[in-house]
């Protein structure tokens, strides 16, 4: 009980930001660690990349980085830390592709495990599930989704549920949820996993499924890395499409836009991907689209000059195979005829399935060229119940946010009625809720509206309005500084979450960057 209280009584100390040098406070532990028998390397020098992430806001330098070559390397390190007992402050953080936003994959003065190194020494294996007779791929948790896509396509298959960006690892997205425009049909990525292999916080290697060690299985999915280091996963596959009709249409009226989105996600014979975004006071965007998308109508939509306006873009996609080339247009037209977008704003393009799924990588390359990829990313992701989305839009779009020049704002509904609700993922109570993602980039030396300070203050205002207007929103990719805030976030799920922590990582060794539990020293 004392241990439990220590683990749970945690408040994050914001001032504990590391400098670039670190003198270990327990040299004995460090020198013993150097003697561990490993297939891979434990480096005390090649560590600086592990103090950075995509968010580019938090930087915590670890003491060492483990580059594992086997699951046993990970188990050896965790077992060693566990056997040290609560005498050492050292923690361990698995790092996928480091695309966290607020230091979640960092370990201040601890050991970061480079999961991509494990993936380099593990194979991808393709199988058929004996119970369901469906295909799946058995992959290393450090594998990037883009690599899984390419390997699966060679065999005519594809995972079903994605994120908008594929240069993320399996372990990283499964520890959150993995939500994109396919989630309305297949659920998030955590709904499309049959089996996990994991090293728990005691160093034990466990295999878990919906039936075997199911408590751990559910805990790990959306578990923010708290209960174990996922080392392998079985991901469900389906026959792969080849081509995609990729469509954007515009609305001036929010109610019509959301009605269409909700109708699309409630139908089984609908598009394969449904997302959307908000454009406030954007200049020249439609002209950019015209160059890459075919505007179906030659009329230039004067009424859609976007300057000074809030407009809503529905983004949808229909997958098809080459053999459907003669019927696909008719199918798409029939689906579009049920929607109420502005008739002059139909933008259609036809791209390969890979190009569609890997679309954000194209923007990444362009931004990298301009030096705009490695800037701070003060992102805010919210899950807003359907019944509150209009109030949310009234309060935020055009009021708190007067333009969207700092980055895209995604907005699309999902329906969790067919999702596995036993996972650790926290969602609003209502079955249908919207993902609203404010994906801002801050300019490092700016003091204007695109400064980090300004965007963070805008995010704070949005969170405050959710609170004061009682919008019952939940954060996705959540970030809090105190355990009280985490308890509020988890609500009735907190007890189970804390019990699992005590059971699978009793010393709170794992994933300190989430700032939920403190190692019990």
Cβ of residue 58: shortest distance to ligand FAD, in angstroms?
12
* Identity of the residue, 97 or 160, whose beta carbon is nearer to ligand FAD in the bound complex: 97
Cα 488 to the center of its chain, rounded Å: 21
Residue 273 near residue 185 (C-beta atoms within 8 A): no
Cβ of residue 113: shortest distance to ligand FAD, in angstroms?
8
Q: Taking Cα atoms as reference points, which of 72, 186, 88 lies closest to residue 134?
A: 186
* Identity of the residue, 81 or 168, whose beta carbon is nearer to ligand FAD in the bound complex: 168
Q: DSSP of 156-186, one letter per residue?
A: TEEES---S---SBHHHHHTT----TTHHHH
Residues 209-238 that bind ligand FAD (CB under 6 A): 224-225, 229-230
Residue with tokens 């399996």: 170
* Identity of the residue, 200 or 451, whose beta carbon is nearer to ligand FAD in the bound complex: 200
Tokens of 138: 């058995």
* Identity of the residue, 105 or 339, whose beta carbon is nearer to ligand FAD in the bound complex: 105
> Residue 406 interacts with ligand FAD (CB under 6 A)?
no
Residues 322-361 that bind ligand FAD (CB under 6 A): 360
Stretch that binds ligand FAD, among 72-80, 92-100, 121-129, 418-426 (CB under 6 A): 92-100
> Residue 171 interacts with ligand FAD (CB under 6 A)?
yes
Cβ of residue 25: shortest distance to ligand FAD, in angstroms?
23
Exposed, middle or buried, 23 (CB in 10 Å: 0-12/13-18/19+)? Answer: exposed
Residues 176-205 that bind ligand FAD (CB under 6 A): 176-180
List strand residue ranges (DSSP E) for 150-192, in order: 157-159
Task: Please state, in angstroms and rounded to a whole number, the distance separating the CA atoms of residues 152 and 103.
Answer: 31
* Identity of the residue, 33 or 139, whose beta carbon is nearer to ligand FAD in the bound complex: 139
- Out of 53, 89, 99, 116, the active site residue is 99
Exposed, middle or buried, 504 (CB in 10 Å: 0-12/13-18/19+)? Answer: buried
Cβ of residue 304: shortest distance to ligand FAD, in angstroms?
26
* Identity of the residue, 64 or 224, whose beta carbon is nearer to ligand FAD in the bound complex: 224
Stretch that binds ligand FAD, among 81-89, 208-216, 457-465, 511-519 (CB under 6 A): 511-519
Number of residues that bind ligand FAD (CB under 6 A): 37
Cβ of residue 179: shortest distance to ligand FAD, in angstroms?
4
Stretch that binds ligand FAD, among 161-169, 253-261, 294-302, 367-375 (CB under 6 A): 161-169
- Burial string for 291-314 (b: 16+ CB within 10 Å, else e) reads eebebbeeeeeeebebeeebbbbb
Tell me how far apart the terminal alpha carbons of the chain are, to the nearest angstrom: 14
> 3-class secondary structure for 80-120?
HHHHCHHHCCCCEEEECCCCCCCCCCCCCCCEEEEHHHHHH
* Identity of the residue, 230 or 336, whose beta carbon is nearer to ligand FAD in the bound complex: 230
**How many other β-carbons are positioned within 10 Å of the β-carbon of residue 129?**
14
* Identity of the residue, 165 or 184, whose beta carbon is nearer to ligand FAD in the bound complex: 165
- Catalytic (active site) residue 234: no
Residue with tokens 């992430």: 53
Which residues are within 8 A (CB) of 324 and not within 5 positions of it... i.e. 6 or more apart? 331
Which of 38, 105, 139, 411: binder of ligand FAD (CB under 6 A)? Answer: 105
Cβ of residue 363: shortest distance to ligand FAD, in angstroms?
9
> Residue 168 interacts with ligand FAD (CB under 6 A)?
yes
Cβ of residue 358: shortest distance to ligand FAD, in angstroms?
12
Using only C-alpha atoms, the chain has a radius of gyration, in whole angstroms, of 23
HSE of 520 in the Cβ direction (CA atoms, 13 Å)?
Answer: 19
Cβ of residue 50: shortest distance to ligand FAD, in angstroms?
10
Q: Partners of 193 in the beta sheet?
A: 235
> Residue 165 interacts with ligand FAD (CB under 6 A)?
yes
- Out of 275, 315, 358, 395, the active site residue is 275
> Residue 99 interacts with ligand FAD (CB under 6 A)?
yes
- Catalytic (active site) residue 102: no
Residues 463-482 that bind ligand FAD (CB under 6 A): 477
> Residue 507 interacts with ligand FAD (CB under 6 A)?
no
- Catalytic (active site) residue 164: yes
Q: What are phi and psi of 437, to 5 degrees?
A: -115, 115
> Residue 100 interacts with ligand FAD (CB under 6 A)?
yes
* Identity of the residue, 40 or 513, whose beta carbon is nearer to ligand FAD in the bound complex: 513
Inter-helix orientation angle 389-396/452-468, to 10°: 140
Q: Taking Cα atoms as reference points, which of 368, 370, 395, 371 lies closest to residue 461?
A: 395
Residue 478 DSSP one-character state = -
Which residues are within 8 A (CB) of 47 and not within 5 positions of it... i.e. 6 or more apart? 61, 62, 63, 64, 65, 112
> Residue 94 interacts with ligand FAD (CB under 6 A)?
yes
Q: Which residues are catalytic?
A: 99, 164, 275
Per CB under 6 A, residues contacting ligand FAD are: 53-54, 93-100, 104-105, 115, 141, 163-165, 168-169, 171-173, 175-180, 224-225, 229-230, 360, 477, 511, 513-514
């Amino acid at each position: 009980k004392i241990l439990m209280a220590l683990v749970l009584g945690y408040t994050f100390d914001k001032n504990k930001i590391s400098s670039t040098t670190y003198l270990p406070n327990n040299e004995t532990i460090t020198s013993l660690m150097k003697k561990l028998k490993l297939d891979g390397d434990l480096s005390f020098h090649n560590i600086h990349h592990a103090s950075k992430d995509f968010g580019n806001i938090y930087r915590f330098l670890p003491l060492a980085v483990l580059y594992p070559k086997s699951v046993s390397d990970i188990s050896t390190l965790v077992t060693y830390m566990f056997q040290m007992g609560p005498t050492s402050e050292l923690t361990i953080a698995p790092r996928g592709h480091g695309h966290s936003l607020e230091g979640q994959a960092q370990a201040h003065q601890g050991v970061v495990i480079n999961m991509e190194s494990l993936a380099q020494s593990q194979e991808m294996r393709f199988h058929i599930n004996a119970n369901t007779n469906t295909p799946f791929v058995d992959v290393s948790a450090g594998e990037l989704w883009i690599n899984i896509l390419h390997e699966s396509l060679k065999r005519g298959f594809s995972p079903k549920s994605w994120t908008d960006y594929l240069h993320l690892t399996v372990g990283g997205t499964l520890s959150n949820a993995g939500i994109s425009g396919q989630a309305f049909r297949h659920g998030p990525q955590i709904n499309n996993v049959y089996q996990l292999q994991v090293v728990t916080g005691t160093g034990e290697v466990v295999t878990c499924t919906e039936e075997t060690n199911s408590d751990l299985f559910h805990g790990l999915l959306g578990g923010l890395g708290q209960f174990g280091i996922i080392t392998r996963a079985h991901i469900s596959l389906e026959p792969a499409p080849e081509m995609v009709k990729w469509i954007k249409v515009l609305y001036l009226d929010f109610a019509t836009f959301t009605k269409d989105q909700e109708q699309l996600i409630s139908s089984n014979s609908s598009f394969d991907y449904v997302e959307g975004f908000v454009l406030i006071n954007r200049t020249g965007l439609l002209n950019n689209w015209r160059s890459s998308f075919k505007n179906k109508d030659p009329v230039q939509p004067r009424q859609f000059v976007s300057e000074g306006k809030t407009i809503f873009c529905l983004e949808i996609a229909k997958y098809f195979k080459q053999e459907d080339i003669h019927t696909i247009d008719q199918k798409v037209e029939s689906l579009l005829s049920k929607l109420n977008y502005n008739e002059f704003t139909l933008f259609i393009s036809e791209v390969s399935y890979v190009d569609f799924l890997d679309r954000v990588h194209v923007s990444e390359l362009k931004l990298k060229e301009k030096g705009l990829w490695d800037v701070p990313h003060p992102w805010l992701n919210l899950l807003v119940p359907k019944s509150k989305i209009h109030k949310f839009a009234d309060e935020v779009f055009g009021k708190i946010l007067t333009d969207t020049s700092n980055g895209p704002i995604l907005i699309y509904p999902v329906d969790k009625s067919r999702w596995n609700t036993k996972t650790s993922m926290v969602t609003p109570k209502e079955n249908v809720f919207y993902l609203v993602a404010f994906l801002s980039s801050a300019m490092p030396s700016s003091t204007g509206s695109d400064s980090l300070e300004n965007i963070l203050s805008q995010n704070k205002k949005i969170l405050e309005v959710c609170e004061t207007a009682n919008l019952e929103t939940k954060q996705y990719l959540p970030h809090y500084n105190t355990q009280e805030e985490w308890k509020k976030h988890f609500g009735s799920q907190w007890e189970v979450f804390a019990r699992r922590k005590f059971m699978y990582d009793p010393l709170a060794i794992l994933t300190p960057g989430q700032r939920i539990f403190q190692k019990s020293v």
